[in-house]
Structure 1
Amino acid sequence: MRTNHRIMGALAKAPMLALAAALVLAGSAVQAAPAAKPATTAEAETVVVIAVGAVKEPKEASGDCTVSGQVRQVEKGRALGIGQNVSLTVPCRKDFKPGTKPRPGQLDAAALTAAPYGRVLLDATGTELRAPYEPLADAPHPQPLEAAPASADPAGEAPAAE
């Protein structure tokens, strides 16, 4: 029996071509999906610093921590006021092993617990943005208040009539 090597050669190459096509398509799909980037204060409608009261870690190694506290400083927006109590859900992981990296937006539960303050970014509806929580070792210095108009009397009294 005689074998046509051209046909056998083409059949042998078919799985390799299919694999190559699958890899090209898979690669383009990965490139097409944009990576989630952390939110910035410019994107946020509301930015506040909270004094952390408590951090509740997830039961599993990875999950959501609940961070509760009180608004200490309003950096942007009017949705929250100083002294208001807040409770946030923050993606976290406990028991990080040295050399391991958290998923984007996921924080170390121990770092959350150790930080006495945190910066929170919210959108116009009051929903936390991507990478919405930043643990802070110290509270930032208060931002300066807007200067009063030059015509205003510093004592707050009306000008005397002449």
Structure 2
Amino acid sequence: MTARHLQLLIVVLILSTAASGPGNLTCYQCTKYKNEECGSESLLPCPPSKDRCVTHISNDAQNGFSLKRECGLGPCGFEDTNVMRGLGMDTCDRSKDEYFCIFCCTQNGCNKAAGGINWPSASLLAAMAVLVTCVCVSTYGM
């Protein structure tokens, strides 16, 4: 990879990071009672005090299934499993009758997918495409 290709890659990464930087975060904000995506009208700006998108998935005998998407503030989870267990945040086993799951992400619109499945962000995919192109050009002279 030449120095020019590396410079191009760095510029793309900086621009893609700036596009989703602090203050610009938008998240899907809706509540569903079955496993489905929010509509495009639910993609709304977050308040400046929020730094991530959050998806809560729960199922219990009293309230049934719910899937809530919103803006949130980190941390999303805790590295200490004892803390997670103590707060009841370690029960994300959807094969059980009752569970509570939290998924967080930090890219615009990243909490769209149903069931908390997060796909790679567009900026990450763009950066990977540039990197692959640079490698192909430097390796094969394309």
- Report if TM-score (shorter chain) is over 0.5: no
Structure with the larger helix share: 2
Larger radius of gyration: 1
TM-score by structure 2 length? 0.25
Higher strand share: 1
